[in-house]
Structure 1
Amino acid sequence: MIPTITAFAASPDRGRGLARDLRVRWALEEVGQAYAVRLVSFAEMKQPAHLALHPFGQIPTYEEGELALFESGAIVFHIAQTRAGLLPEGTNARARAITWMFAALNTVEPPLVEFSMARVFERDKPWYEQRQPMLEERARKTLGLLSSRLGDADWLDGAFSAGDLMMAGVLFRAKPTGILDGYPNLAAYVARAEARPAFKQAFAAQLAVFENGVAAG
């Protein structure tokens, strides 16, 4: 059965790959799994039918037979567990790859999102000038530690895995802020991820939604 995912009918990022369905598309492309996409509007995301799939009214969701999942990390984890190609066969290496998935979402992403969102939504607030340096310091501390751990390796733990997919996906969303410029090895890491055919296919598919919407409008 071909799984179905949901994505923005009109993404706020204008097709730049910042919406989190990119991670799910990328994982499906990496394992060679065909999939269908159901586009939802912001209004539809708050309706009972979608809330039954995602209780917080967000995207992406994933449906396959009787299974319905939400949260990009959980969806990618499921894909990696049920298809070959994203998790190593060895027990310890597999566990480490899963650990990096959690690290990407729980340790690296929060300070990066807080830093980038403040730049967009808080610039007109009286506390912005005082708060932003603190947010940037937190983000840079995390990136510095990640940079030290990666070193000159191509990937986080041997061959490319779901851990790299999630980590590179998180870092990719931080690119527009310019914060990666201070960490050449992390910038190169993201570039290697972007060069993967599966990423290119996923990005093109997400971008096509925006371009088709513009053409239709």
Structure 2
Amino acid sequence: MPIDPNAELEITAFEWVPSFAQGHVRDLRPRWACEEWGLPYKVRLISALERPEWYFTDQPWGQVPYVLDGEVGVFESGATLIHIAEKAGALPPIGSQERAAVLSWLLAAFNSVEPSVMELVNCTISRKEEWAQLHKPSLMEELGGRLDRLQTALGDDEWLAGAFSIADIAMATILRGLPDPALLQAQPKLAAYVERAIARPAFQRALEAQLAPFAENEPSKQKEGA
């Protein structure tokens, strides 16, 4: 689904981020959901380096994504995924085990997996500092154990909760951000799961849409045009 400047649903994203973050900013998640379920959306770009003061009214910490759907505003990527899935009719009925599984795995991605992944990312970025060197081995062990459990739970299933869902969007975007590929290589079923997810055309379209403004707004190009 191409971006539609006349769409009612609007996703706020950053106009540019450093290269290590490109393709991993969390507005990728609602973009992917819109592409997956055919919902047209438009994009509002803001600066990540000098976030406008008015934006903190929409998102208290100035983060992205923020989704505005008519008069309804939603922040935090998990909440935006739920909103988009409900709008698209892509969530199972209220009270069903199928819905419970989707929401359980969605929150598991954010609460049981992502914090450890982000802590490892921080240690990797700060790897020259002593605290990072001391903390990394235990963190790798802890995260490896969590991935072991995740792979066991996935088993031979294609997706986490039956059909492809917002839980898979959350989990796949988190796992593809692992800074040490050895962690995923040690879990072949999880590695195959991530490959299946990012091979989906909807993911590829969402990724391309996120990356395009970064190339256009790269600071060196802005200086050249000044």
Could you state the TM-score of these two structures normalised by the residue count of structure 1? 0.91
What's the counterpart of residue 177 of structure 1?
Answer: 180
Matches within 5 A, 1:1-217: 2-13=8-19, 16-45=22-51, 47-85=52-90, 87-89=91-93, 91-120=96-125, 122-174=126-178, 176-178=179-181, 179-214=183-218, 216-217=221-222
Give SS of 1:153's match.
Answer: coil
Residues 51-70 of structure 1: CA deviation (Å, up to 9, x unaligned)? 00000111111112221111
The 2-side partners of 1:22 and 1:147 are apart by 24
The one-letter amino acid of 2:107's match is F
Length, aligned pairs only: 213
Contact 2:17 2:48 in 1 (8 A): no
The 1-side partners of 2:88 and 2:24 are apart by 25
Q: Which gives a bigger RCO, structure 1 or 2 (Cα 8 Å, sep 6+)?
A: 1
Give SS of 1:68's match.
Answer: strand
- CA shift at 1:12, angstroms? 2.4
Superposition RMSD in Å: 1.8
The 2-side partners of 1:52 and 1:73 are apart by 19
- CA shift at 1:126, angstroms? 2.0
- CA shift at 1:32, angstroms? 0.5
Give SS of 2:114's match.
Answer: helix
Give SS of 2:108's match.
Answer: helix
The 2-side partners of 1:131 and 1:73 are apart by 28
What percentage of residue pairs aligned between the two structures are identical? 42
Give SS of 2:92's match.
Answer: coil
Give SS of 1:73's match.
Answer: helix
The one-letter amino acid of 1:83's match is A
Contact 1:23 1:72 in 2 (8 A): yes
- CA shift at 1:162, angstroms? 1.3
Give SS of 1:157's match.
Answer: coil
